[in-house]
Amino acid sequence: MSDRLSVLKTYKLYVGGKFPRSESGRVYEVTDSKGNWLANAPLSSRKDARDAVVAARKAFGGWSGATAYNRGQILYRVAEMLEGRREQFAAEVADAEGLSKAKAAAQVDAAIDRWVWYAGWSDKVAQIAGAANPVAGPYFNLSSPEPTGVVAVLAPQESSFLGLVSVIAPAIVTGNTVVVVTGEKSPLPALSLGEVLATSDLPGGVVNVLSGRVNELGGPLAAHQDVNAIDLAGAAADAELVKALETAAADNLKRVLRPRATDWTADPGTERMLAFLETKTVWHPMGV
């Protein structure tokens, strides 16, 4: 009896809740750590990046306007779906990062736990980042954090799933929408994450996943006038690129999260959430 021939999967982008191929029609070879071919991933173009920003902007009103409780519920649902696909992600992470099965599974478990941790922040972040301000006058004065808008995220190159989850979840839990550029060499866990998000009640466009070259996609996203913030984690290895992207981001005063050496297994703290929040302060007279 011959071995069964497996069915190959065509990996696709995840944009606006749909799974398009790159509009460019291009793909690139994705290999495991030993150089064995795994799949062809879409090689996203500038146009794909622009389309993803449009989708993210369109989704922003609804997502940022949802109640924090509702966003939390949806993020918990994502964690549940991730748990169900644990084996698949472990296999993809093992291939992507050259890890043993056990180590890859540990990465996936940490990533799911991290997603749950961030989900729980949805209805708490306003309480730790907001303030009732005792001003010297008869006014009610309240500061609350609000999402900054569309966040472009260059996902870390070295951690294909735990790192990826650690940059997406903190941006969306507070109500931002995201265009994420996957790790260049290891995009498959990220593209599979898109499939999970699509079946998790997360509104289309809240997270948009692009695989491709950081060098090619970083520039258009950093310069895009309808992107409000950018996380440069994925450009960490290239100081020149970081400088160029930060310079381009100055054009519309994007909020920039600079890359720094990060241990993705460590307690992430609140930094990545707070980086993409604005503080709104509302005054109203008090009196009768």
One residue of 1, 7, 8, 253 binding another protein per CB under 8 A: 253
Of 61 and 84, which has the nearer Cβ to another protein? 61
Is residue 128 within the footprint of another protein (CB under 8 A)? yes
Say if CB 257 and CB 227 are below 8 A apart. Answer: no
Q: Does 247 bind another protein (CB under 8 A)?
A: yes
Q: What are 3's two structure tokens?
A: 């071995």
57 sits near another protein (criterion: CB under 8 A):
no
Distances from the Cα of 121 to the Cα of 116, 128, 191, 273, angstroms: 9, 10, 25, 9
In the complex with another protein, which residue's Cβ is closer, 49 or 242?
242
Does the protein bind another protein through residue 67 (CB under 8 A)? Answer: no
Is 237 a binder of another protein (CB under 8 A)? no
Q: Which long-range contacts (CB under 8 A, 24 or more apart) does 133-136 make?
A: 133/281, 135/283
Binding of residue 242 to another protein (CB under 8 A): yes
Q: Tell me 66's DSSP state.
A: S
Question: Would you count residue 141 as binding another protein (CB under 8 A)?
Answer: yes
Residues 255-274 touching another protein, rule: CB under 8 A, are: 255, 258, 271
Of the candidate spans 7-15, 37-45, 127-135, 171-179, the one that interacts with another protein by CB under 8 A turns out to be: 127-135
Backbone phi, psi, residue 40, to 5°: -100, 125
- Smaller CB distance to another protein: residue 78 or 249? 249
Burial class (CB in 10 A: 0-12, 13-18, 19+), 102: exposed
> Does 135 engage in binding with another protein (CB under 8 A)?
yes
- The encoded tokens of residue 31 equal 């290999």
| Contacts of 175 by beta carbon, 8 Å cutoff, 6+ apart | 63, 64, 65, 66, 71, 146, 147
Are 210 and 52 a contacting pair, CB within 8 Å?
A: yes
Q: Tokens representing 24?
A: 């460019």
Query: Contacting another protein (CB under 8 A), which of 107, 148, 186, 208?
Result: 148
Q: Which of residues 206-235 bind another protein (CB under 8 A)?
A: 228
Site for another protein, rule CB under 8 A: 128-129, 131, 133-137, 139, 141, 143, 148, 228, 239, 242-243, 246-247, 249-253, 255, 258, 271, 278-285
